[in-house]
Chains A and B, each alone.
Chain A
Amino acid sequence: MATAFSAPKFAAQPFTTISPTSQHKPLKIPTAASPFLGSTRKLLRLSSSSQLNLRRRSSGSVFAVSDVVKEKKPTPIPSLLITKEEGLELYEDMVLGRSFEDMCAQMYYRGKMFGFVHLYNGQEAVSTGFIKLLKQQDSVVSTYRDHVHALSKGVPARAVMSELFGKTTGCCRGQGGSMHMFSSEHNLIGGFAFIGEGIPVATGAAFTSKYKREVLKEADCDHVTLAFFGDGTCNNGQFFECLNMAALWKLPIVFVVENNLWAIGMSHLRATSDPQIYKKGPAFGMPGVHVDGMDVLKVREVAKEAIARARRGEGPTLVECETYRFRGHSLADPDELRDPTEKAHYAARDPITALKKYLIENNLSGEAELKAIDKKIDELLEDAVEFADESPLPPRSQLLENVFADPKGFGIGPDGRYRCEDPKFTQGTAHV
Chain B
Amino acid sequence: MLAIARQRILGQSFQKIRPAVSVLRSYSSAAKQITVREALNSALDEEMSADPKVFLMGEEVGEYQGAYKITKGLLEKYGPERVLDTPITEAGFTGIGVGAAYYGLKPVVEFMTFNFSMQAIDHIINSAAKSNYMSAGQISVPIVFRGPNGAAAGVGAQHSQCYASWYASCPGLKVLSPYNSEDARGLLKAAIRDPDPVVFLENELLYGESFPVSDEVLDSSFCIPIGKAKIEREGKDVTITAFSKMVGYALKAAEILEKDGIHAEVINLRSIRPLDRSTINASVRKTNRLVTVEEGFPQHGVGAEICASVVEESFAYLDAPVERIAGADVPMPYAANLERMAVPQIEDIVRAARRACYRSVPLAAAA
Contacts and interface: CB of A to CB of B under 8 A. Distances in A.
A202 B96 CA distance: 7
Given A190-B127, A405-B195, A244 B87 contact: yes
A242 B92 contact: yes
Contacts of A406: 194-196
Interface in A385-432: 401-406, 408-416, 418-419
A242 B139 contact: no
A175 B278 contact: no
A408 B52 contact: no
B178 interface: no
A75 interface: no
A175 B134 CA distance: 5
B92 A241 contact: yes
A416 B227 CA distance: 11
Interface string B18-59: 000000000000000000000000000000000011010000
A237 interface: yes
Contacts of B142: 405
Contacts of B135: 172, 175-176, 180, 182, 184, 190, 402
Interface residues of A, number: 60
A201 B92 contact: no
A238 interface: yes
Interface string B94-122: 11111111111100000000000000001
A172 B134 CA distance: 7
B276 A411 contact: yes
B32 to A, nearest CB: 30
B126 A193 contact: yes
B94 A200 contact: yes
Nearest to A191: B134
B95 A200 contact: yes
Given A172-B138, A180-B135, A214 B94 contact: no
A173 interface: yes
Contact of A208 (B91, B100, B136, B138): B100
A182 B138 contact: yes
A164 B102 CA distance: 23
A109 interface: no
B133 interface: yes
B99 A201 contact: yes
A184 B134 CA distance: 12
Nearest to B142: A405
A404 B133 CA distance: 7
A38 to B, nearest CB: 30
A294 interface: no
Nearest to B141: A405
Contacts of B102: 189, 201, 204-205, 208
A2 interface: no
Contacts of A189: 99, 102, 139
Given A211-B100, A241-B93, 6 more contacts: A173-B137, A182-B139, A197-B95, A201-B99, A204-B102, A215-B52
Going nearest first, the 6 A-B pairs with the smallest beta carbon separation are A204-B99, A200-B95, A411-B274, A241-B92, A182-B135, A405-B140
Interface of A: 139, 141, 171-177, 180, 182-185, 189-194, 197, 199-209, 211, 214-216, 237-238, 241-242, 244-245, 248, 401-406, 408-416, 418-419
